[in-house]
Structure 1
Amino acid sequence: MERGELLLYGVLPYAAIAVFLVGHWWRYRTDQVGWTARSTQILESRMLRVGSLAFHVGALAAIGGHVLGILVPASWTDSVGVNEDAYHVISVIGGLTAGIAVVLGLLVLVYRRTTNHRVRRTTTRMDVAVFAMLAVAIVTGLWVTVLNAVDETHYREHVAPWFRGILTLDPQPERMAEAPLILQIHVTQVWFLYALWPFSRLVHVWSIPVDWFRRSPILYRSRGAAVGRPAGGRRPHAASRR
């Protein structure tokens, strides 16, 4: 095995995980105000609603497929009556569906961000880097799924054991070195994306708005409101805090 393969498949995963964990800790300690999705919904909502829904639903489905295909050994699925042929059909159909949804959602979001001048002005260099890395990861992942539909890539024989070995501190870089090139590109790109994650708006995925339900409503008054009653005799109204 060459030194480059050892670095990519034996060292890079642990370096990316370390940056991912320490970076999130550092970001939360030093930049809680910036810990946000930096939503531009107020600037444009129609395309955002369509693109964001397709992207997030497809991404969640893809993540679920990765968990099933990589973290769950083939012996486990065999034990519950799902043989390799059935698993192959399920993974191809699910992977293609999720991949198409993610690609369409990303295209809508990119089109929105490049054609709407107000949204484009809020785009940072980090946003561009994240979009680019997501695009490469999504395209290569969809490519792998298409190839798997035509000719099985047998990723459960090399990628899955290699990944589980990383989690158990027993990496086997030679397994990934034997994988198809497109799989190697996909996996490597994702590790770099993980390393970039803490320093981008992607941190918002860890924010769950649990306090939203117990917040008090906000009272809105018109500018010309007199003491005790707004102008025009209308009473102040309450709106949910967003």
Structure 2
Amino acid sequence: MDNFDVFLWVAFPWLAIAAFVIGIIWRWRTDQFGWTTHSSQIYESKLLRLSSPLFHWGIVFVIIGHLMGLAIPKSWTQAVGISDATYHLIATYPGTLAGIAALLGLAGLIYRRVVNRTVFLATSRSDKVMYLLLGAALVSGFFATVTLQLFGSAHGYDYRETISPWLRQLLVFQAQPALMTDVPWQFKVHVIAGFTIIAVWPFTRLVHAFSAPVGYVTRPYVVYRSRDTRTGPVKEHVAWEPVRSHTEQLDERNQTPSRGA
């Protein structure tokens, strides 16, 4: 194994993870007002209503599938009686559907930004880089799944014997780059694209993924007015009242009936 392979499968992933962690901390400390999706819904909402949920739900299930395949060792699934054929069926077909949803949603979001001039003018340079790298990660992963898992061998390529242990060892600082030597090039491209998007994540609008409004689920309702019909208006106590003119005071005095009447 030459130095370039060591860089690709040891140094580059570590650098990407370091850029991710340091970038997130730096962004939070210096740019909390920019920690947002930079929503463009005000410019166009029809395509956004279709593409955004499709992309976000698709990517959620794609990430769940990656976590299950990379974090759970093969020996664990075999210990509970899940055969390789069953695991391949569970992982491949739902993962393919999730990938299709994410790709269609991303294509709709990109189409919206290109076609709608107002949205295009609101697209920053970092947004363009983010869409390019995110598209590369999704397309490379989908291509690897289709060519190797769907139309490859009977059980597809068993990445749980190479990529999964390589990643787990990498995260505990016991890198074994030799595990990536015989990995098909489709998965190698996808791994590199994935770590690239991780490296630039803090410097794009993708940081909004860490600001999901989870608290809205449990927050109390905001009561603006009571539904009780017996509740009357409450007089507000103000510290000052506007000064009325002399004419207004005379008119009010004339309209007030005398007590002896």
Shorter-chain TM-score range? 0.7 to 0.9
Give unmatched runs, 5+ long, in structure 1: 219-242
Q: Which amino acid aligns with 1:148?
A: Q
TM-score norm. by structure 1 comes to 0.86
The Cα of 1:42 is off from its aligned counterpart by 1.4
Q: Which amino acid aligns with 1:174?
A: A
- Which residue number in structure 1 is paired with residue 239 of structure 2? none
SS state at 2:59 partner: helix
- Which residue number in structure 1 is paired with residue 142 of structure 2? 142
Rate the CA distance shift 1:118–1:214 in 2: closer, same or farther, 3 A. farther
Q: Which amino acid aligns with 1:137?
A: A
Q: After superposition, where does 1:52-201 map in structure 2 within 5 Å? A: 52-146=52-146, 147-151=148-152, 152-201=156-205
**Within 2, Cα distance between the matches of 1:179 and 1:55?**
28
Rate the CA distance shift 1:23–1:180 in 2: closer, same or farther, 3 A. same
The Cα of 1:215 is off from its aligned counterpart by 8.3
- Which residue number in structure 2 is paired with residue 45 of structure 1? 45
The Cα of 1:82 is off from its aligned counterpart by 1.2
SS state at 1:48 partner: helix
**Within 2, Cα distance between the matches of 1:144 and 1:116?**
32
SS state at 2:44 partner: coil
**Within 2, Cα distance between the matches of 1:210 and 1:143?**
33
**Within 2, Cα distance between the matches of 1:211 and 1:96?**
31
**Within 2, Cα distance between the matches of 1:26 and 1:214?**
32
Q: Which amino acid aligns with 1:162?
A: W
Rate the CA distance shift 1:66–1:211 in 2: closer, same or farther, 3 A. closer
The Cα of 1:50 is off from its aligned counterpart by 1.0
- Which residue number in structure 2 is paired with residue 223 of structure 1? none
**Within 1, Cα distance between the matches of 2:177 and 2:25?**
29
Rate the CA distance shift 1:137–1:210 in 2: closer, same or farther, 3 A. closer
Count of residues in Structure 1 that have an aligned counterpart in Structure 2: 219
SS state at 1:19 partner: helix
TM-score norm. by structure 2 comes to 0.80
**Within 2, Cα distance between the matches of 1:88 and 1:48?**
34
- Which residue number in structure 2 is paired with residue 7 of structure 1? 7
Question: 1:32 and 2:32 equivalent?
Answer: yes
The Cα of 1:210 is off from its aligned counterpart by 5.2
**Within 2, Cα distance between the matches of 1:209 and 1:144?**
33
Identical positions, percent: 41
Give unmatched runs, 5+ long, in structure 2: 225-261
**Within 2, Cα distance between the matches of 1:118 and 1:163?**
42
